[in-house]
Chains A and B, each alone.
Chain A
Amino acid sequence: MGGAIAITGMGILCAIGNDRKAVLDALLKKESGIGPMRYLRSIHTDIPVGEIKLSTEQMKQMLGLEGEGPFSRTSLMGALAVREALQQAGIRDVSQKRVALISGTTVGVMDVTEQYFERMKTEPELQYLPHSNECGRSTEEIAQYSGLGNARCCTICTACSSALNAMMLGAEMLKNDEVDLVVAGGSEPLSRYHLNGFNTLMILDRERCRPFDETRAGLNLGEGAAFVVLEKDAPNTQAYISGYANRCDAFHQTATSQDGEGAFLAMTEALRKAGLKPGDIQYINAHGTGTPDNDASESAAFKRVFGDSLPDMSSTKSYTGHTTSAAGSVEAVICLLAMQNDFIPASLGWSHPIPGGVIPTQGRTGVQLDYVMCNSFGFGGNDSCLILSRACPAPQERTLAEESRIRVEARSVVSSDEQLPALKEYLSPMDTRRMGKILKASLLSAFTVLKDAGLQKPDAIIAATSRGMFELSTLFLEDICNNQETLLKPTLFMQSTHNTVASAIAIRTGCHGYNITYSQGDESSYWAVADAKRLLRLGEARHVLVCAFDEELQDGRTSAFQAETTLYTID
């Protein structure tokens, strides 16, 4: 048990390059990859984006794939990044190994769905296409395209912190000897769907983003994929994962708390796990999206953790755009490149300090980086932090309690319309007015379980879903089609991400603990329960709430649904 988690390979594609070398060159030359749209088809051509400079066809050719497809950019970019990572790690044959491929994505194969959405309703030959939101499918395709056909696939959907959570899960599985080799990261393409979604939230800058600048006016979306190969005590080591944490802001689905509570908790816990003091960190790759909200909240959290001695800090989203679910691994790989090449990446676009705020670095070279911190925060307050180290971290005691000590303390299933009015006992009509049936059902089953167990809040919340917020996301797709990408409803988008349920439970119970959402088809619940047991056996939690939910649609509206919440407790 235990053992140091080594990163033995890494692969990356983003707006500033299609491999490690190109990305490194752009970082050193301080060249941003954000510019006008070329491959994404949208009427919003005034919105700058960070596109990968490859067409879907080119990526297909690079991977030697045949056939008409359709091919999702998520899967193609992901496979290219995985291939580069495996090559660096010198891994050719994985047939004798227990391998896990863990990917973070939230857009999933939506880039394909949105191209065919209208036609899929009437053309039976297109019915085989993923209708929407099946994130797990992209991970299976990545495995298939990159020669990892025998890997166990797992997809994490915690919006913009997905890829960091994927790396953390990989580290935990290795420490527990559940696998021999992990390939973890994330992949997210640009889509009309989330470009329009972020546009309804009015957080897209029409200029290049300016993280931590007083004049910042929002983010630029980017696309990207990055994966790392993780092994235990490996000889060919690039760096080590020494600390990490996943915490929840539990404040609002799309807004951040003013004091940055979730970010503060994630950073302090990651430092504690790494056995480090704030002063040991030499560089922070901030989440730094460039939105007024994020940068203010993250600044507040920095001040709480580091006081007046903030280490060099930058947001590399000024180069890549915000690669959303892939941001965690894209930026972790950027941190690794910085560590290997002794430099600190500059924050581009910054010129006006926020009064009383933090100041990002303009970059430095010739610095040996021993400890680096990487932040990724997502919708729903899914906040994660990862610490990388040059040297092998000191071995830590790791004991797992017997699995037989875990018991199901309470369980509740909500699957009919007749049950839903009972939610009034817990939430006001004002609080539930935007919610679709699946969110109402999930919350009701969660509240019922907590009430039965006599518990105010759990220590951790884990969700499992195959299709996520299927109705809401379909309604938003309809909205995009019917209204030609204009005057769309933010209400539909803000609760369309898969992590809506887990974060809604956290917000309503005030649970700042571990919070994650798994989406891997029929195996989603398996991953969720396995993770709950991991937390309980490690002593990281005493009570873990696991909520499995899914819905069926007819004519675009919920026709059947089921939410099953289980409270697992360790004695």
Chain B
Amino acid sequence: MEQLVEDIKLQIIDALNLEDMTPDQIDNDAPLFGEGLGLDSIDALELIVILDKCYGIKLKSPAEGKEVFKSVNCIAEYVQQHRTK
């Protein structure tokens, strides 16, 4: 699980162009959107691409991603349960 969390953080940093950030600067439980990291609707779409590309998980709409993308830990749990690769 720890490795998965680390992987997801690196994938987020890369896909969302968070160039100046390191994985330890992203809190596992902090909200990714709004007040936490401050991501927006385009980032949510990039996260959907990450899930598909890296883990074979297909979300149908950004609305479906809302619960999944609450925090890095939420994403990791969802990936663990639903990954197809």
A residues near B (Cβ < 8 Å) are: 200-202, 217, 252-255, 292, 429-430, 433-434, 487-491, 494
Is B41 an interface position by the 8 A CB rule? yes
Contacts A429-B19, A429-B20 hold; do A494 and B42 have CB atoms under 8 A apart? Answer: yes
Could you say which of A217, A430, A433, A490 contacts B45, with CB atoms under 8 Å apart? A490
Count of A-B contacts judged by CB separation below 8 Å: 43
Contact A433 B49 (CB under 8 A): no
Bound form: Cα–Cα A252–B41 in Å: 9
CB < 8 Å neighbour of A202 from B20, B40, B45, B53: B45
If the complex has contacts A202-B48, A487-B52, are A433 and B19 also in contact, measured as CB distance less than 8 A? yes
User: What CA separation (Å) do A200 and B49 show in the bound complex?
Assistant: 9
- Distance, CA A217 to CA B18, complexed state (A): 31
A489: chain B residues within 8 A (beta carbon): 15, 46, 49
B17→A491 contact, CB < 8 A: yes
B residues engaging A (CB < 8 A)? 15-20, 38, 40-42, 45-46, 48-49, 52-53, 61-63
Which B residues are CB-close (under 8 A) to A487?
A: 49, 52-53
Could you list 21 examples of A-B contacts with CB < 8 Å?
A: A200-B45, A202-B62, A217-B61, A252-B40, A254-B42, A429-B19, A430-B18, A433-B17, A433-B18, A433-B19, A434-B17, A434-B42, A487-B52, A488-B49, A489-B15, A489-B46, A489-B49, A491-B15, A491-B17, A491-B46, A494-B42
In whole angstroms, how far apart are the Cα atoms of A289 and B19 in the complex? 35
Question: Which residues of the other chain, A, contact B52 by a CB distance below 8 angstroms?
Answer: 487
Roughly how many angstroms separate A494 CA and B16 CA in the complex, as a whole number? 13
Docked pose: A200 CA to B42 CA in angstroms: 9
Q: B61 to chain A: which residues have CB within 8 Å?
A: 202, 217
B62 near A490: Cβ-Cβ < 8 Å: no
Complex Cα spacing A19 to B48, Å: 42
Complex contacts, A201 vs chain B, CB 8 Å: 45
- In the A-B complex, the 10 residue pairs with the smallest Cβ-Cβ separation, listed nearest first, are A490-B45, A433-B17, A487-B53, A255-B41, A429-B20, A494-B42, A487-B49, A434-B17, A490-B42, A430-B38
